[in-house]
Structure 1
Amino acid sequence: MQRRTVLKGAALGGVAALGAGFWALPSGEAPAAVSLDAAQQLLAGLVDQPLRSLKGWSPAEVFNHCAQSIEYSISGYPELKPGWFRSSVGPLAFSVFAARGAMRHPLNEAIPGAAPLNAPATQAHALQRLQQAFADFAAYQGELQPHFAYGALSHADYAQAHVLHLYNHLSLIRPA
């Protein structure tokens, strides 16, 4: 009985925090429309541009991280959050991000169990990897794997999640 009370309290606290977090999300203009095509065009504009990161990961690491997320949506994430999380808090968080049209998450937090972000090491090659991941995802017709936190997502929801994820990370990338 006490466990149920704790779980209910945690769930209600999470809902309240997410509701408050909705208003804390950025409301400014996204760098492009929230679509696969717009994200791909934005990335194409970064080719051959020297970039720097305001803090945290280098541009190459950011591109590798975003590519990993897209690749794992097809192949499967190495580690998943517990089922109760993927069926409650995770989908609720995604619905807040989707409704707001913006995502905010720790920008130096690796995907659980993911490979190191050092390959490919150059910005140009990491950007190519990310562009290829977006192209592969756009063309993919098979069943997508559950997101490590959000759980099962449709292709359209995953597309939105990947674009919002990229835009959140690009908020720390500037021309050098």
Structure 2
Amino acid sequence: MQRRQFLKVGMLGAAVGLTGASALWLSQGNDPTQLNIAVLLAKLNKLTMLSTEQLAGLSTGKWNSAEVFTHCAQSVEFSMSGFPEHKSALFKQTVGALAFTAFVTKGAMSHNLAEPIPAAPELDRSVDVNQALARLIQSLKDFQQYKTDLAPHFAYGELNKADYELAHVLHFYNHQQNFNLMS
């Protein structure tokens, strides 16, 4: 009887501890009212007011600003046309699904900010930053108007339009962490 009581108390304590840690981790995400394409487009449209030099200087990461905009545009475009390469079905149903659920729950994504989409065309450092930004803006507008079935995500699997919208916004906001002027 005492062992059973000890196990119950121990499991309860562990559950409380995990819940507290999870709550702390989850509280560090983005404002849910900011997690839609309309808000993202408004932010991106403000960037079009910057000079080419300011825009080019936004990214402090491994990729320059044009590469970041192009990479994010590729992701949006592939959600409509199909990703060139996929993780295994097992990966998408386990690790991928869990990762996406964690990102949605937290309201923030975390991934390698210099990892290209598998088999996507190589990012070109010399692409004009204004053209790359315009491509991202257009891809998001196209996504908003898109009415047919979306392609499975290469890592997360099947996503509905609302989930894909959230994925695209969280993806850009994650890359925005390497920007020195955006809020």
TM bucket normalised to smaller: 0.7 to 0.9
- What is the alpha-carbon distance in structure 2 between the residues aligned to residue 21 and residue 73 of structure 1? 30
Q: Runs of at least 4 residues of structure 1 off by over 6 A?
A: none
1:39 is matched with which residue?
40
Quote how far apart the aligned CAs of 1:101 are.
0.3
- What is the alpha-carbon distance in structure 1 between the residues aligned to residue 22 and residue 88 of structure 2? 22
Q: Which has the larger radius of gyration?
A: 2
1:16 is matched with which residue?
none
Q: 1:130 to 1:120 in 2, by over 3 A?
A: farther
The answer to whether the 8 A contact 1:79-1:148 is kept is yes
> Unmatched 5+ residue regions in structure 1?
1-19
The answer to whether the 8 A contact 1:60-1:121 is kept is yes
The answer to whether the 8 A contact 2:70-2:123 is kept is yes
Quote how far apart the aligned CAs of 1:117 are.
1.5
2:152 is matched with which residue?
146
Q: Which of 88, 96, 101 lines up with 2:94 in the alignment?
A: 88
1:48 is matched with which residue?
49
Q: 1:22 to 1:86 in 2, by over 3 A?
A: farther
The answer to whether the 8 A contact 1:64-1:119 is kept is no
**How many correspondences in the alignment?**
157
1:158 is matched with which residue?
164
Quote how far apart the aligned CAs of 1:171 are.
1.1
Q: Scaled by the length of structure 2, what TM-score is found? A: 0.79
- What is the alpha-carbon distance in structure 2 between the residues aligned to residue 25 and residue 171 of structure 1? 17
TM-superposition CA deviations, 1:102-161 (whole Å, max 9, x none): 000000000000001228801100000000000000000000000000000000000000
2:103 is matched with which residue?
97
TM-superposition CA deviations, 1:10-63 (whole Å, max 9, x none): xxxxxxxxxx89965781655x70001001101001113213211210000000
1:4 is matched with which residue?
none
Secondary structure of the equivalent of 2:171? helix
- What is the alpha-carbon distance in structure 2 between the residues aligned to residue 160 and residue 29 of structure 1? 11
> Unmatched 5+ residue regions in structure 2?
1-20
The answer to whether the 8 A contact 1:54-1:173 is kept is yes
Alignment of 1:13-24 (within 5 A): none
Percent of aligned pairs sharing the same letter = 44
